[in-house]
Amino acid sequence: EVQLVQSGAEVKKPGESLKISCKASGYRFTSFWIGWVRQMPGKGLEWMGIIYPGDSNTRYSPSFQGQVTISADKSISTAYLQWSSLKASDTAMYYCARGMTTLDYWGQGTLVTVSS
Amino acid sequence: DVEMTQSPLSLPVTLGQPASISCRSSQSLVYSDGNTYLNWFQQRPGQSPRRLIYKVSNRDSGVPDRFSGSGSGTDFTLKISRVEAEDVGVYYCMQGTHWPRTFGQGTKVEIK
């Protein structure tokens, strides 16, 4: 059974760094792209970027390029989304999901709250 | 970016009645391999999104057959033949043809 299990909710202050994770199981991690999707409070879904764990090839939406970093660790079948300096506007639910032309399996979401 | 425009944004429906959601893209979603990568997702309140339809009209395993997808090029439709209470939520289209991938604004389906 394919599963994507994300790390728990985070509360951070503006300017702090953060790395959230998405652990995959039930399939060959290196053979499928994994993407990240943002959902701000009460808003719609926004596609952020995607990584192919097999070779770490990464594509970003221009809206998120330079604002976040997507990475993956093949040895533990885990993808990551990280920020070097959080802003209040980064407060949102973040989902990981599998796929390049589609998103067939989704994680449960990680709520990130940034507040002073 | 390819813009995905859904309508309506709010859809009150009577139980047992049909519902239809439109999704239009600003560019053709036909890829060079001949496939059209248009997806539909359902997000129930408090839940993660769930894929319903991929490549325009392919229903995911476990998705009731009252859900159907159709369309081509830039114009796509998700239909629910008879709305049930469990169908309440927000529905999104997403294109997987062009970079970056983009979602529609979402259509909120509620029961009248």
Dump pLDDT digits (tens) for B100-112.
999 999 999 999 9
Q: pLDDT value at position B4?
A: 98
Q: pLDDT value at position A88?
A: 98
| A44, A47, A49: residue with CB nearest B106 | A44
Q: pLDDT value at position A106?
A: 98
- Per-residue tokens: B34: 């001949």
A10-12 vs A110-114, strand pairing mode = parallel
Residue among A16, A113, A37, A17 nearest A79 (CA): A37
Residue among B111, B102, B65 nearest A35 (CA): B102
Residue B76 sits at φ, ψ, to 5 deg, of: -135, 155
- Per-residue tokens: B23: 């999704």
Q: pLDDT value at position B36?
A: 98
Which residues from chain A sit within 8 angstroms of residue B105, using beta carbons? 44
The residue of chain B with its CA nearest to that of A96 is B48
Nearest 10 degrees: Cα torsion A19, A103, A55, B32? -140
Dump pLDDT digits (tens) for A76-109.
999 999 999 999 999 999 999 999 999 999 999 9
Dump pLDDT digits (tens) for B37-63.
999 999 999 999 999 999 999 999 999
Dump pLDDT digits (tens) for A28-57.
999 999 999 999 999 999 999 999 999 999
Dump pLDDT digits (tens) for B2-44.
999 999 999 999 999 999 999 999 999 999 999 999 999 999 9
Dump pLDDT digits (tens) for B62-86.
999 999 999 999 999 999 999 999 9
SS3 at position A41: coil
Is-contact A72 A53, C-beta < 8 A?
yes
Contacts of B70 (CB under 8 A, 6+ apart): B56, B57, B76, B77, B79
Strand partners, B24: B5, B75
The residue of chain B with its CA nearest to that of A43 is B105
- Per-residue tokens: A49: 């970027």
Percentage of chain B with pLDDT > 90? 100
